[in-house]
Structure 1
Amino acid sequence: MATSDVPRLQIVSRIAAGMLGGYAFTWGFIALSIGLLFAARLEFHDAEALATILGFIVFLAAFLWAFGAASVGRVWLVLAGGGALMAGAASLVQSAIL
């Protein structure tokens, strides 16, 4: 691999982390927020709307952080791992409600 390919791979990895990892993180955040807000007696559609609106801000912050962080591995770990943890927690919250 040529030395000029390394920066390209890092940029592609950061873009993928920002897009895919940010999507997973945001999806987990929205799912968990809806479950917790509904459990707190907020109407379902109000909880859904609030979580989705906040999700836009969360995705933007995650995407920008993917480019500002020092380590690409840490970005992948936090975004993809955090998204998976929040999705799992959302599943537990939703099963406890129903």
Structure 2
Amino acid sequence: MASHAPAGLALAHRLTAAILGAYIFAWGFITLAMAGLFALGMSFHDAEHLSSILVFLVYLGAFLWAFIAKRAKNMLLVWLLLGGGGALMAACASLLQYILV
């Protein structure tokens, strides 16, 4: 029974990274896409709707990509890229919004 614990723990870690990491990445994407499209001249509601449509594909891609990592050090890279990338995109969107307003 103890031999299944590491595999179960690895699966739980991968699933958590897929759900939460992909959510953070998708959140960053949608904020940056909305700010960027608005900066390019698209109306706010059109930018909001287009970003909301595209984020489904981004979330799905990030979610599935989190399952590609097979080793523990690759899971750290997944967390850094998904969480850090989402935070970086949100920071860039905040800066862009500050410049626009």
TM-score class normalised by the smaller sequence? over 0.9
Once the two structures are superposed, residues 27-54 of structure 1 have per-residue CA deviations (whole angstroms, 9 ceiling, x without a partner) of 0000000000000000100000111111
Query: What is the aligned partner in structure 2 of residue 39 from structure 1?
Result: 39
Superposition TM-score, scaled by structure 1 size: 0.94
Q: Which residue, out of 73, 76, 79, partners 2:76?
A: 73
Once the two structures are superposed, residues 5-45 of structure 1 have per-residue CA deviations (whole angstroms, 9 ceiling, x without a partner) of 11111111111111100000000000000000000000100
Superposition TM-score, scaled by structure 2 size: 0.92
Determine helix, strand or coil for the equivalent of 2:67.
helix
Q: Distance in 1 between matches of 2:56 and 2:36?
A: 18
- Residue segments in structure 2 that go unaligned for 5+ positions in a row: none
- After TM superposition, the runs of 4+ consecutive aligned structure 1 residues lying more than 6 A away are none
Give the CA RMSD over aligned residues: 0.9
- Residue segments in structure 1 that go unaligned for 5+ positions in a row: none
Number of residue-to-residue matches in the alignment: 97
Q: Identity rate of aligned residues, in percent?
A: 51
Determine helix, strand or coil for the equivalent of 1:4.
helix
1:4 maps to 2:15: no
Query: What is the aligned partner in structure 1 of residue 60 from structure 2?
Result: 60
